[in-house]
Amino acid sequence: MVKLLHTKTILIVGLGLIGGSIARGLAAGKHCKRILAHGRDSIALQSALNDGNIDAYSTDLSVLAPQADVIVICTPTLSVRKVLEELKDFIDSQVIITDAASVKSNVVADARMLFPDSLHRFVPGHPIAGSEQSGYAASRSELFNKRKVILTPLKENSTVALQTVMSLWQLLGADVHAMSAERHDVVLAGTSHLPHLLAYSLVNTLVDSVSQPDRAQQVFDYAAGGFADFSRIASSDPVMWRDIFLANKNATIDVLDSYINELQKMRHKLMISDGAGLHSEFSRAKLIRDEFIKRFRPDNKKDNENMISGANFAVEPETIAVYPGSFLTGQFRPAADAQVSIAIIDQCKSQQGVFEFFGVPESTKVLDYLQTLRDKNIPVLGPESGYLRVYGGDCGMTDTSKASLIKPVLFKATALPADEFLCGLLVLGAGVMKDSHVRLSGLAQNLEQNLKKQSDGITFFAILAEFGFSAHWHTDTADGLSSLQINSFRPEAATLNLVNTSIDDNGLLIIFAAAAISSGTTRVTLDPARIAAWLNRLGELASWAATILIEGSAVCITPKELQSTTIPCNADPYLALIAIVIGQASKHTVLINQPGALASNFPGLLAELSRLGFGFNVQSTTAQETH
């Protein structure tokens, strides 16, 4: 691990459960030069000194702050601002500041106001670890071991500052992640804040509504493990949680409203005695919760290794029922191809500066690659809705303990080229469904050039033009990106010579789909070996959708009237997506079996296609682990 703390003096402000556990962990591992602590409870501070977990303490922040290289603020959420106000008078711009508050947006806003010229050294953070107990006496050195810590870095952050804070948590055994402050507050409102609100409310509801008057304890006489498990966090510090809810009010209200809606649906199922509906909801929740527990509390060595290595959990479709949609409408921002994304990001990781990317896919392949960067102490934020931020430079140094904190260069955001396969799906969807109007947004300029090119190296989008697709481009002057307007069109048969072209195997799937929904016979000339591999991959989809005739090095594809059938896709998610598109032209319902790892390769895509107007239902799901 990069040496970042061994010469540092760490000041912990607030020596409670979190601050005390940080002190114990740093002291146990001898990870830094000195550990200082500030707080209001002199008894707890003296206890930590007696335990050997800190080297000095004071109830006066001005005494300790000038001695610190790194300051970790572990006070309640609404108290962080007061600490920042005090610190700005006692420290210089080379001191790194981080925090452990449970809500980030308000902390970031306060830091921006108080440190407008030195945000490069302020790195917000939040350890996802704790207990219903509080105070230094409840702290323990292993509290963060194998637990997640979320950093919410700013664009202005120095790479060295970020790496230093990452290193601190990694030395304590934590798994460090990064996301925007806004995303953090939304996620934690659901995974942490709402459960606490429900636990407090459950206890009060049982006392007020189930117990007899003046016998509040009666309900607890018959409570068992279920109540104890659910209500455990109602023993948490009321003052701390009051502050958390007030600081994250809006996000918590939003997720609370969603929860209330779900409860109303459950109530309705109970009212009408819908046993099947209840079983379906319970089974779905059990599946996901069991997988979470498998990773959160691994029971054996194999599970433990999977959790550490970053195995991803996805709920994959088993069967998809496809039926004709009416028309496509809306806006869609296609993600880039995973391998292309990795290649572009890889070029930036060692350069000094902050790099931003749009259109980054959240596929398993990309997430695994980003985890390897984090493992190498390269700070990465995202991806969030296709947005990714990489803090390049300094990661190759073996000892950055004396590196100066400097304001980073923020490079212009890069829009990664959209995955041509995804664009092709939308184009063909408009070819099947009348009155469709869809806009693909956030496209890189080179994609527009690729679409327009039709000679000397035929391209994927030029091939779509051969089927009658006409592009309507628009340029967003604000960011220089392009958008593509896709309107309904009637696909025409095409004659294509693809010998010695760069069209890939997934592009051939798009070509088959275009031929299968066209008005005549499409003739494709291709190397015989590739024709055989192409048709073998298509499998039963080919004979269902078209009449295939091979004439030497050419294959002729004539559309059929589509009948109701079941199509096995042999765990090929690309083939399953093609079947969904072709199925829009059928007058009957078509079942797709074995669609493969759609959620892992194209997370969120099925929901987006449904939103745009494609007709299908995911009938059943299963949990799959991907690497």
Tokens in use for 78?
A: 């609404």
CATH 3.65.10.10 domain residues, the chain:
420-626
Yes or no: say if 168 and 70 are a contact pair by the CB < 8 Å rule.
Answer: yes
Residue 520 CB coordination number (10 Å): 13
DSSP letter for each residue of 15-62: -SHHHHHHHHHHHHHT-SSEEEEE-S-HHHHHHHHHHTS-SEEES-HH
- pLDDT at position 257 is 95
Residue 82: what are its φ and ψ, rounded to 5°?
Answer: -60, -40
**Triad 582, 559, 527: Cα angle to 5°:** 95
Whole-angstrom distance, CA of residue 113 vs CA of residue 216: 48
- pLDDT at position 205 is 84
Report the C-alpha dihedral over residues 301, 305, 307, 312, rounded to 10 degrees.
Answer: -120
Closest among 383, 286, 281 to 341, alpha carbons compared: 383
Helix (H) or strand (E) holding 381: strand 380-384
Give the residue ranges of DSSP H helices in 68-193: 80-87, 105-114, 159-171, 181-188
- Find where tokens 């804040």 sit: 193
Rounded mean pLDDT for each run of 10 residues along the chain, 627 residues in total: 80 95 95 95 93 94 94 94 92 92 95 92 92 84 93 93 93 93 94 92 82 65 75 85 92 94 94 92 84 64 41 74 92 90 88 89 92 87 91 60 69 83 92 90 62 49 85 69 86 91 88 94 93 94 94 93 92 95 92 91 92 88 49
- pLDDT at position 320 is 94
Q: How far is CA 118 from CA 114, 406, 408, in A?
A: 9, 9, 11
Kindly report whether the peptide bond that precedes residue 383 is cis, defined as omega within 30 degrees of 0. Answer: yes
Q: What is the CA radius of gyration of the chain?
A: 29
CATH 3.40.50.720 domain residues, the chain:
9-179+341-414
- pLDDT at position 351 is 84
DSSP 613: T
DSSP letter for each residue of 497-559: E-TT----HHHHHHHHHHHHTSSS-EEEE--HHHHHHHHHHHTHHHHHHEEEEEETTEEEEEE
**Triad 431, 564, 505: Cα angle to 5°:** 50
CATH number listed for the domain at residues 420-626: 3.65.10.10
b vs e for 104-139, b when ≥16 Cβ sit within 10 Å of the residue's Cβ?
Answer: bbbbbebbeeebeebbbbbbbbbbbbbbeebebeeb
Give the residue ranges of DSSP H helices in 272-325: 275-296, 301-309
Q: Which amino acid is at 353?
A: G
Q: Which amino acid is at 298?
A: P
Tokens in use for 627?
A: 């690497």
Residue 292: what are its φ and ψ, rounded to 5°?
Answer: -60, -45
- Find where tokens 């979190």 sit: 18
Phi-psi domain of 231 (left: phi exceeds 0; alpha: psi -120 through 50; beta: other): alpha
Query: 9-179+341-414 adopts what CATH topology?
Result: Rossmann fold (3.40.50)
Residues near 218 by beta carbon (within 8 Å), at least 6 away in sequence: 211, 212
Whole-angstrom distance, CA of residue 199 vs CA of residue 241: 12
Closest among 146, 142, 92, 133 to 115, alpha carbons compared: 92
Tokens in use for 509?
A: 């799937």
Sign of CA dihedral 304, 29, 94, 3: negative
- pLDDT at position 394 is 63
